[in-house]
Amino acid sequence: MREAGCAMPRPKCCRRVDWVPGCRLFKPAGVPAATLEQLVLTIDELEALRLADVEGLYHELAAERMGVSRQTFGRIVEAARRKAARALLEGKALRIEGGSFEMTDTRTFRCSDCAHEWQVPDGTGRPDECPGCKSENIHRAVEERGGGGGRGRHRHGCCGARSRSSRATNPVEP
């Protein structure tokens, strides 16, 4: 029996994420990372920032893409903005890791002219040009050819599913 006033928290559901960054630590220039306080921005918080502030999506559409309610999306993006602002204003390092998320099916494309690689969600069609140099000389990345992927690839071990990839769970180098 639970004690009075002790509510059990609701378990977090997995949030869908389209992209995981290659660079996972941002810090003020010229200051060793070991001397800085670090704030942790989770992968799902970064995804919320990307959808709201980079793609410019309304919260309702962004929430749908992440598989959460609009209110939950608002809380996620608010927490992410607060952490990013604190890191910038207070000179703290910002480490990107963890969170409760699953990767959506994505395809990786590569530009033959500038070697830029990027991912697009399945079902969005083939890109017309490279987002970096605007070249039309683009193709699927070699490791993406012939299938692979798999819907709902869990990266954090949430929802009791086994992870098929350790890319997001590996420790991050400082």
- Mean per-residue pLDDT for 109-114? 90
Query: What's residue 56's pLDDT?
Result: 93
Helices (H), the chain: 43-49, 59-66, 70-90
Structure confidence at residue 133 (pLDDT): 93
- Separation between Cα atoms, residue 134 and residue 159, nearest integer Å: 40
Residue 61 pLDDT class (50, 70, 90 cuts): very high
| pLDDT tens, residue by residue, 50-59 | 999 998 999 9
Domain boundaries, the chain: 15-102+152-160, 106-144
pTM: 0.58
Q: In the chain, how many H helices and how many E strands?
A: 3, 9
Cβ contact 55:27 at 8 Å: no
Average pLDDT of span 92-115: 84
57 vs 152, which has greater pLDDT? 57
pLDDT attached to residue 9: 66
Stretch 107-131: mean pLDDT, rounded?
82
pLDDT at 60: 95
pLDDT of amino acid 117: 84
Mean per-residue pLDDT over the chain, rounded: 77
What is the pLDDT, as a whole number, of residue 13? 67
- Among 13, 27, 14, 166, smallest CA distance to 96 is for 27
pLDDT of residue 170: 35
Given the candidates 2.20.28.10, 3.20.20.70, 3.40.1160.10, 3.40.50.2300, the CATH classification of the domain at 106-144 is 2.20.28.10
- Which is nearest to 55 in space by CA: 24, 27, 88, 18? 18
Lowest mean pLDDT among 72-81, 123-132, 156-165: 156-165
pLDDT of residue 48: 94
